[in-house]
């Protein structure tokens, strides 16, 4: 995280020219790409992953999870028992907070669904919502977990009337999906959960494999490889968008509490 203090440094940072490299990655990551895919170009690596998943299905998913995440899985789908165990394991305060957030998100989207927009000359414009059959939700993971992302992507699909919601999220180092993510998925009404991340997860949702059904639309944020995969499968399936890194601008003067300002800047990066 980069903190810029003062008007002149902020102006300089905001006025910088766009980077020539369309896919900026660290030298260490470029070396890793070269070792795994014989290329330093992230898009070429993602194309290889997508092609392998289309050709080899679940076998490719398990191979890439071991190769990239360092996790050896025997099964991709998270069982109902694992979800139930997570619901017992997570503390009641967090469960209560997630339920409250879910209620508010659901209420907002119910209002949105039933809204009639007022237009020019007093004309009303109602919406006609046609729910999709199956939607895939990508939830980032690995070093942190994001139960709020689960709620904010799965609940709108449920409110819209989507028949089936599939969730994919990377496994932790132990191969287990973080319990808060599973609890949030249970609260949001997710139908099936798969322990799978990265470009390979997007490819699986787009084309389907032996275990993972193909979907009509993929939603949710991710790293550069997830974004590139969404870009490459768009047209085969619909996507919600191509999300970049989170950005925040805080304007504060000399009366502001520096500690609180810094905490506000850290907030989007905090995990459960």
In this model, does residue 270 exceed pLDDT 60? no
Question: pLDDT tens digits for 64-80?
Answer: 999 999 999 989 999 99
Mean pLDDT for the chain overall? 89
- What is d(CA 79, CA 185) in angstroms, rounded to the nearest whole number? 13
The residue behind tokens 């997007």 is 202
Average pLDDT value for residue range 104-121: 82
3-state secondary structure 119-137: CHHHCEEECCCCCCCEEEE
CB atoms near residue 1 (< 10 Å): 8
- Spatial neighbors of 245 by CB under 8 A, at least 6 apart, are none
In this model, does residue 260 exceed pLDDT 50? yes
Q: What pLDDT, on the 0 to 100 scale, is given for residue 12? A: 83
In the sheet where 217-219 sits, what is the strand order? 192-195, 164-169, 134-138, 217-219, 238-239
Q: What pLDDT, on the 0 to 100 scale, is given for residue 268? A: 58
157 in Cβ contact with 129 (< 8 Å): no
- What is d(CA 224, CA 67) in angstroms, rounded to the nearest whole number? 18
Highest mean pLDDT among 77-86, 250-259, 263-272: 77-86
DSSP conformation class of 8: H
Q: What pLDDT, on the 0 to 100 scale, is given for residue 59? A: 97
Q: What pLDDT, on the 0 to 100 scale, is given for residue 25? A: 83
Q: What pLDDT, on the 0 to 100 scale, is given for residue 17? A: 66
Q: What pLDDT, on the 0 to 100 scale, is given for residue 267? A: 61
Bridge partner residues of 237 (DSSP): 234
DSSP symbols for 140-191: --SSS--HHHHHHHHHHHHHHT-SEEEEEE---TTS---HHHHHHHHHHT-S
CB atoms near residue 243 (< 10 Å): 14
What would the two tokens of residue 147 be? Answer: 């139960």
User: Which of the two residues, 270 and 39, has the higher pLDDT score?
Assistant: 39
For 80-239, which CATH class? alpha beta
Average pLDDT value for residue range 153-167: 97
Q: Could you tell me whether strands 217-219 and 238-239 are parallel, antiparallel, or unpaired per DSSP bridges?
A: parallel
Question: pLDDT tens digits for 235-258?
Answer: 999 999 888 776 777 888 889 888
DSSP conformation class of 116: E
pTM score, whole prediction? 0.83
In this model, does residue 105 exceed pLDDT 70? yes
Bridge partner residues of 124 (DSSP): 118
Average pLDDT value for residue range 130-157: 93
In this prediction, residue 21 has a pLDDT band, given cuts at 50, 70 and 90, of: low
Bridge partner residues of 137 (DSSP): 167, 219
- What is d(CA 244, CA 153) in angstroms, rounded to the nearest whole number? 17
193 in Cβ contact with 169 (< 8 Å): yes
Q: What residue spans define the domains of the chain?
A: 80-239
In this model, does residue 271 exceed pLDDT 60? no
117 in Cβ contact with 179 (< 8 Å): no
In this prediction, residue 125 has a pLDDT band, given cuts at 50, 70 and 90, of: confident
Is 264 buried (19+), middle (13-18) or exposed (0-12) by CB count in 10 A?
A: middle
In this model, does residue 142 exceed pLDDT 80? no
Question: pLDDT tens digits for 173-216?
Answer: 888 899 999 999 999 999 999 999 999 999 999 999 999 999 99
């Amino acid at each position: 995280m980069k903190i810029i203090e003062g008007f002149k440094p902020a102006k300089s940072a905001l006025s910088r020219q766009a980077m020539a490299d369309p896919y900026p990655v660290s030298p260490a990551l470029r070396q890793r790409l070269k070792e795994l895919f014989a290329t330093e170009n992230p898009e070429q690596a993602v194309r290889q992953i997508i092609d392998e998943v289309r050709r080899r299905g679940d076998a490719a998913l398990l191979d890439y999870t071991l190769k990239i995440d360092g996790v050896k899985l025997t099964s991709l789908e998270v069982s109902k028992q694992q979800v139930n165990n997570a619901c017992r394991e997570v503390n009641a305060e967090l469960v209560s907070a997630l339920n409250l957030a879910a209620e508010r998100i659901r209420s907002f989207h119910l209002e949105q669904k039933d809204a009639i927009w007022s237009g020019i000359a007093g004309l009303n414009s109602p919406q006609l919502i046609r729910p999709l059959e199956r939607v895939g939700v990508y939830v980032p993971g690995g070093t942190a977990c994001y139960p709020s992302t689960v709620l904010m992507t799965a609940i709108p699909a449920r409110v819209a009337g989507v028949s089936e919601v599939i969730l994919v999220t990377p496994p932790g180092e132990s191969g287990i999906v973080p319990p808060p993510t599973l609890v949030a998925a249970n609260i949001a009404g997710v139908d099936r959960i798969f322990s799978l991340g990265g470009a390979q997860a997007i490819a699986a949702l787009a084309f389907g494999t032996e275990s993972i059904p193909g979907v009509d639309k993929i939603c949710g944020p991710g790293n550069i490889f997830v974004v590139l995969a969404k870009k490459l499968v768009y047209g085969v399936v619909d996507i919600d968008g191509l999300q970049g890194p989170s950005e925040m601008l805080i304007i504060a003067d000399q009366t502001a509490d520096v500690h609180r300002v810094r905490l506000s800047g850290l907030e989007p990066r905090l995990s459960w």
